């Protein structure tokens, strides 16, 4: 009878040990995988925040440079106006120079909304060597 008891006891103990070992391994692997995922998420968040800071710094620097450019343009305009007033030979030349400096010259783009004629038909943006023929 002891033999049948041992025959049942060993498999039951083996089964229980396997369940415990499997549970511990599964928990260990899951926690290390979750830790790895959390580490990757934290790393991605850090990279994203770094990128946002770089973009903000870039636009701040651009704004500062544009402000300096605008100030330099105003300084040059003022310098030219003063030079025109001081260095012009006669009153007519002085007025002409002052008037030309006072009116900004704005370049205007043509009002046409057609693409240049050297582009192929359609919206591909590919240049074409052949003339474009429109069929009405």
Residues 63-91 have a mean pLDDT of 88
Region for residue 122 given its phi and psi (left: phi exceeds 0; alpha: psi -120 to 50; beta: otherwise): left
The structure's pTM equals 0.45
**Which pLDDT belongs to residue 63?**
94
Q: How many residues does the chain have?
A: 136
> Per-domain residue ranges for the chain?
8-102
- Which of these ranges, 19-33, 34-48, 56-70, 121-135, has the smallest mean pLDDT? 121-135
Tens digits of per-residue pLDDT, 99-112? 777 765 544 555 56
């Amino acid at each position: 009878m002891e033999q049948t008891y041992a025959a049942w006891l060993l498999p039951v103990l083996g089964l229980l040990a396997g369940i415990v070992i499997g549970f511990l391994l599964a928990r260990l692997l899951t926690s290390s995988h979750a830790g790895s995922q959390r580490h990757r998420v934290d790393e991605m968040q850090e990279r994203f925040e770094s990128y946002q800071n770089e973009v903000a710094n870039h636009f701040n620097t651009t704004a500062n440079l544009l402000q300096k450019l605008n100030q330099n343009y105003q300084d040059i305009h003022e310098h030219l106006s003063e030079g025109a007033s001081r260095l012009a030979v006669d009153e007519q030349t002085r007025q002409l120079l002052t008037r030309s400096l006072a009116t900004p010259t704005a370049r205007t783009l043509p009002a046409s909304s057609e693409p240049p004629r050297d582009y192929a038909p359609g919206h591909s943006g590919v240049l074409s060597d052949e003339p474009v023929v429109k069929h009405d």
